[in-house]
Chains A and B, each alone.
Chain A
Amino acid sequence: AAGVIQSPRHLIKEKRETATLKCYPIPRHDTVYWYQQGPGQDPQFLISFYEKMQSDKGSIPDRFSAQQFSDYHSELNMSSLELGDSALYFCASSHLGLAVTDTQYFGPGTRLTVL
């Protein structure tokens, strides 16, 4: 079965640079969630989109922005990168939109390293 696709899988950036992470949800999934996972930490919710509109916002820094496009893929844009932004970034998608019991399926993640 098709899974969530994320690109790139690995990314190395310098401080103050920008980065764009991409997420392609499972076909027919309408909701995308972004999570950040620091080393040895649990995933922390950043932001989500349902039907191309922002649906919820978590601990996303103002330096980050995201959007969901007409084909339902999503991009997380990160500017003025800081060392503390080094983490795994996961995208998850779900099918039933804003339903409590809707299962979120995670992609393999993008490992961002800021030097």
Chain B
Amino acid sequence: GESVGLHLPTLSVQEGDNSIINCAYSNSASDYFIWYKQESGKGPQFIIDIRSNMDKRQGQRVTVLLNKTVKHLSLQIAATQPGDSAVYFCAEKGENSGYALNFGKGTSLLVTP
């Protein structure tokens, strides 16, 4: 079936550096993409979202880029902090695939001092 997946399972960055987490999706009908952060033992926490009619969206220290041509999504975290250490999931949904989230495999981000 359609899938959403991540390129790298783990990412280690130094505090203060920028982080980039990538995600590929295969469902060309996906309308909406979301990034979630999950800390150990906690539920996924919404970070930022983007609709399919946009290429870029910025939040506080985070930017999501969407390339529909190659079906690629990325999350950029500026000036990464120790508190950013967590597992990051991309997820997608669209009208054709129901309204539930289809999660990709997580990327574990480890921020070292």
- Spell out A's residues near B (CB within 8 Å): 4, 31, 33, 35, 42-45, 48, 55-56, 58, 90, 92, 98-109, 111
Contact of A43 with B99 in the complex, beta carbons under 8 Å:
no
12 A-B pairs with C-beta separation under 8 A: A33-B100, A33-B101, A43-B44, A45-B100, A45-B101, A55-B99, A90-B44, A92-B101, A101-B49, A103-B34, A106-B44, A108-B43
Contact of A58 with B100 at beta-carbon distance under 8 Å, contacts A101-B49, A103-B49, A108-B43 already known: yes
A48 near B99 with CB under 8 A, answer yes
Return B49 CB to nearest CB of chain A, in Å.
7
Give, as a whole number of angstroms, the nearest-CB distance from A8 to chain B: 14
Report the separation of the CA atoms of residues A42 and B44 in the bound assembly, to the nearest whole angstrom: 10
- Cβ distance B14 to chain A, nearest Cβ, rounded Å: 25
Q: Are A105 and B31 in contact (CB under 8 A)?
A: no
B positions within 8 Å CB-CB of A: 31-32, 34, 36, 41-46, 49, 51, 89, 93-95, 98-106
Q: Are B45 and A56 in contact (CB under 8 A)?
A: no
Structural contact, B89 and A101, CB atoms closer than 8 A: no
Which of chain A's residues has its CB closest to B50's CB?
A: A101
Inter-chain CA distance A92–B46, complex, in Å, is: 11
Note all chain A residues with C-beta closer than 8 A to B46: 103-105
Residues of B within 8 A of A102 (CB): 99
**Please, which residue of chain A has its CB at the minimum distance from the CB of B30?**
A100
User: B102 — which chain A residues lie within 8 A by C-beta?
Assistant: 45
B101/A101 in contact, CB under 8 A: no
Contacts of A55 in B (CB 8 A): 99
- CB of B101 within 8 A of CB of A104, answer yes
